[in-house]
């Protein structure tokens, strides 16, 4: 017995052909695509097929339609769009609080080290602002968790390594729910986070590479202790949409 041969829809073939041109840099960020009628002529398909292909690429952030123009232009997917897709994929693979925590213990200390080497005055300004924002108004747990995530993102941005930043962001999105639950149940968590952020800011400002790495490692390790005190099972499914038990 042979399995049936699956035929790919025409719009998917058009989308794949366009995507190949984008990925090999034949089409670059900002380049405008021809009109739908012209693309349909070139591909030898109906205009509706082209329209469906363009919608698919638009949904992934590869295309955008600029105001006042009927044509699509090539664009880079925003980091948030990339992170959201990866976070959802990880959630569908049933990643746990422990999985995310372990990944952060591996990833965040080198990010802090790179930030200590490369941070600019502007980076330090954003870091200080994020740390002050958390310290000044962290009674609202949901807002406090968002500000913790923002601090981590500022450290990532200070590394000036887009690969590290894109690897970090999906994990931070998955961290937020368990972090919120932990801060709700462990009152001292907030003061410990303030201390860690202050130490990290000092190390980054002074360019103390080893201190930055050490304090980030200590900061992430402290989350596990917080989970244990909060009674959050490390085997809990971890996603950005549901509360952990």
What tens-digit pLDDT sequence spans the chain (245 residues)? Answer: 787 777 789 999 999 999 999 999 999 999 999 999 999 999 999 999 999 999 999 988 899 987 777 889 999 887 777 777 788 888 778 889 999 999 999 999 999 999 999 999 999 999 999 999 999 876 788 899 999 999 999 999 999 999 999 999 999 988 888 899 999 999 899 999 999 999 999 999 999 999 999 999 999 999 999 999 999 999 988 765 544 44
pLDDT score recorded for residue 177:
85
Together in a domain, 28 and 92:
no
Those residues with Cβ within 8 angstroms of residue 98's Cβ, 6 or more apart along the chain or in another chain: 234, 235
CA distance 105 to 99: 10
Q: What six digits make up the tokens of 131?
A: 């740390």
Closest by alpha carbon to 193, among 214, 213, 223, 165?
Answer: 223
* Backbone φ and ψ of 96, nearest 5°: -110, 170
Task: Please check whether residue 36 is in contact with residue 54, taking contact to mean a CB–CB distance below 8 angstroms.
Answer: yes
With respect to residue 33, please indicate whether it lies within any of the assigned structural domains.
Answer: yes
Determine the Cα–Cα distance for residues 87 and 92; give it in Å rounded to an integer: 9
State how far the Cα of 235 lies from the Cα of 168, in Å rounded to an integer: 21
How far apart CA 245 and CA 222 sit, in angstroms, is 20
The predicted pLDDT at position 244 comes to: 40
Task: Identify the domain containing residue 19 by its residue range.
Answer: 10-74
Tokens of 185: 């149940």
Q: How far is Cα 144 from Cα 133, in angstroms, rounded to an integer?
A: 9
At 240 the pLDDT is 54
Note whether 83 and 185 are same-domain residues.
yes
Q: Is residue 208 part of a domain?
A: yes
Within a domain: 56: yes
**Domain-located, residue 214:** yes
CATH number for 36: 1.10.10.10
| 32 and 104 fall within a common domain | no
| DSSP state letters, 161-192 | -HHHHHHHHHHHHHHHHHHHHHHHH-TTHHHH
* Cα torsion 207, 210, 214, 217: sign: positive
What confidence score (pLDDT) does residue 222 get?
Answer: 95
* 90 and 161 together in one domain: yes
Rounded to whole angstroms, what are the CA distances from 218 to 21, 77, 211, 213?
45, 33, 10, 9
Number of domains into which the chain is organized:
2
Determine the Cα–Cα distance for residues 32 and 206; give it in Å rounded to an integer: 45
Rg (the chain; Cα; Å):
22
């Amino acid at each position: 017995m042979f399995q049936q041969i699956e035929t790919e829809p025409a719009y998917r073939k058009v989308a794949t052909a366009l995507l190949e041109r984008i990925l090999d840099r034949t089409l670059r960020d900002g380049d405008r695509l021809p009109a739908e009628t012209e693309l349909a002529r070139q591909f030898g398909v109906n205009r509706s097929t082209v329209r469906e292909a363009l919608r698919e690429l638009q949904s992934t952030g590869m295309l955008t339609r600029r105001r006042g123009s009927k044509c699509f232009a090539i664009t880079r997917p925003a980091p948030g769009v990339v992170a959201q897709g990866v976070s959802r994929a990880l959630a569908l693979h049933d990643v746990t609080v422990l999985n995310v925590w372990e990944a952060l213990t591996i990833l965040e200390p080198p990010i802090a080290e790179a930030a200590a080497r490369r941070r600019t005055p502007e980076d330090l300004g954003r870091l200080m602002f994020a740390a002050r924002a958390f310290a000044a108004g962290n009674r609202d747990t949901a807002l406090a968790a968002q500000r913790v995530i923002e601090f981590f993102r500022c450290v990532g941005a200070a590394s000036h390594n887009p690969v590290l930043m894109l690897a970090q962001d999906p994990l931070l999105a998955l961290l937020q729910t368990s972090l919120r639950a932990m801060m709700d149940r462990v009152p001292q968590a907030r003061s410990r986070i303030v201390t860690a952020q202050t130490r990290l800011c000092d190390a980054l400002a002074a360019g103390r590479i080893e201190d930055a790495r050490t304090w980030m490692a200590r900061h992430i390790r402290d989350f596990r202790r917080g989970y244990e005190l909060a009674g959050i099972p490390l085997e809990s499914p971890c996603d950005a949409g549901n509360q952990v038990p």
